[in-house]
Amino acid sequence: MERFHHLLPLLPLLLLTTLPTTFSEIRFSEIRSDDRPIIPFDQFGFTHNGILELNVSKISLSNSNLDLSKVGFFLCTLDSWLHVLQQLEDGEIRCALQSDLVKSVFTFSSLNGKESFNTLYNETDSDQYNLVFANCHPQQLKVSMDVNSAMYNLDGKSHVRDYLSAGRTILPRVYFVFSLVYFTLAAVWISVLYKKRLTAFRIHYFMLAVIILKAINLLCEAEDKSYIKRTGSAHGWDILFYMFSFLKGISLFTLIVLIGTGWSFLKPFLQDKEKKVLMIVIPLQIVANIAQVVIDESGPYGHDWVTWKQIFLLVDVVCCCAVLFPIVWSIKNLREAARTDGKAAVNLMKLTLFRHYYIVVIFYIYFTRVVVYALETITSYRYSWTSVVAAELATLAFYVFTGYKFKPEAHNPYFVIDDEEEEAAAEALKLEDEFEL
Ligand SMILES: *[C@@H]1O[C@H](CO)[C@@H](O)[C@H](O)[C@H]1NC(C)=O
Ligand SMILES: *[C@@H]1O[C@H](CO)[C@@H](O)[C@H](O)[C@H]1NC(C)=O
């Protein structure tokens, strides 16, 4: 236990390195009187042409009579890190910097009393690395310093810097292609609205707004990522991107709630409990978006990153559950109406539609939250773009399904139904009731 005790502070690092997010930008961190044995800074997937730029200034050590070769920066993959922990545990080494499994970038013994250093480290083994600071005199030494770090890959021939981690470098193109798809969908939807303008409801115009917001959001994300790729910083485009993410998030959840309640095509007004769902979901979306901004901007080792990640997950789960209630209420109402008002066929059709919608919303939520997360976790850093593509494809399928099923109809099937269909539907409902009993 005694031996294991000094490894405990390393656990958060272990947990964090198993998280899939790979950030990339130029980062700045201030460390003040810190005695942590391990301070993780950033994570990056290098190709064969990777470079780490590390500029550290304002270094001050609380005690300079120690062996400073045991204080410094190193790069380490997650796999090697597990072995290093084992070596420390077995007593083979006494400091992570002594292991031949880590790539030492700079130890403070080369500092020679100076207060700052700039170093360039070439990484030619492609892999995903963590930049970590080790202080092997944690009880005796407190460190203060300002750390500027940048990690990037040089593009094969042209030697242009690419600040996006290997595996994420094609993301700008992915987002751009998806934004084109949504702009096309918006055009298709406009032509549908024009042709069926007599039977289009307000909700159909709202759907158009949602598609356009999604398209603009993807376009901003493409530009944001491509700006980071070129410069290593996100400034400018990220604000537009967050703004449209926010609008898109709110409008999508509102749309799911409104369709779920049947607003505008089943009834003109919202009930109180349905309004309450919106009043819960909209403020929560604001919180979720703030959390998302903090998460993205601070990187996986940033201050309070874990807390914000948890807030985001919690809020997201609550929103996802809340939007299901109106659909369930609608299904219940339709079932009751089908039994009482004699228009069985009409109601059965609506009922089927709402049941399908319920299943598809659940599938969409499950896929974009759980399956995508699992994909992110199991795929190699080289293919981390695949989870983005999977999430965007699922979202696209959801938009297309919603648009197709709830499109404005020239002859409205809800209201024009002949007697034969009516009888068949009444039979079907009766059968269904028997099954449920
Ligand atoms: C690292 O790569 C850069 C750019 O290719 C080159 O200028 C520099 O000499 C290399 N440094 C070392 C130590 O290999
Ligand atoms: C590090 O310092 C060099 C030289 O001053 C500078 O060109 C480079 O941009 C700096 N890098 C970072 C990440 O701050």
Residue 369 has a pLDDT of: 87
**φ/ψ bin of 274: left (φ > 0), alpha (ψ from -120 to 50), beta (otherwise):** alpha
Residue 49 has a pLDDT of: 92
Nearest ligand, CA 148:
2
Separation of CA 149 and ligand 2 centre (Å): 8
Q: Where are the alpha helices (DSSP H) in 153-261?
A: 171-195, 202-231, 237-261
Separation of CA 120 and ligand 1 centre (Å): 8
Residue 424 has a pLDDT of: 66
Mean per-residue pLDDT, 264-286 = 87
Digit-coded pLDDT (tens) for 129-168: 999 999 999 889 999 999 999 999 998 788 899 999 999 9
- The lowest-confidence range among 100-104, 189-193, 326-330, 343-347 is 343-347
Sign of CA dihedral 269, 271, 277, 279: positive
Separation of CA 121 and ligand 1 centre (Å): 8
Residue 420 has a pLDDT of: 62
Q: Is the pLDDT of residue 101 over 60?
A: yes
Q: Interior CA angle at 7 toward 6 and 11, to 5°?
A: 140
Nearest ligand, CA 155:
1
CA–CA distances in Å: residue 34 to residues 84, 104, 208: 22, 20, 53
Work out the burial of residue 36: count CB atoms within 10 Å of its CB; fewer than 13 is exposed, 13-18 middle, 19 or more buried: middle
Q: Is the pLDDT of residue 4 over 60?
A: no
Q: Is the pLDDT of residue 207 over 80?
A: yes
Q: Is the pLDDT of residue 415 over 50?
A: no
Nearest ligand, CA 123:
1
Separation of CA 148 and ligand 2 centre (Å): 8
Q: Is the pLDDT of residue 412 over 80?
A: no
Answer whether 231 contacts ligand 2 (Cβ < 6 A): no
Answer whether 53 contacts ligand 2 (Cβ < 6 A): yes
Task: Using pLDDT thresholds of 50, 70 and 90, give the confidence band for residue 240.
Answer: confident
Provide the CA 241 distance to its chain's centre, in angstroms. 14
- The lowest-confidence range among 7-11, 113-117, 239-243, 394-398 is 7-11
Supply the residue whose CA is at minimum distance from atom 10 of ligand 2: 55
Mean per-residue pLDDT, 96-115 = 91
- The lowest-confidence range among 134-138, 170-174, 190-194 is 134-138
How many CB atoms are located within 10 Å of the residue 83 CB? Answer: 14
Answer whether 233 contacts ligand 2 (Cβ < 6 A): no
pTM: 0.84
User: Are 285 and 249 spatial neighbours (Cβ–Cβ below 8 Å)?
Assistant: yes
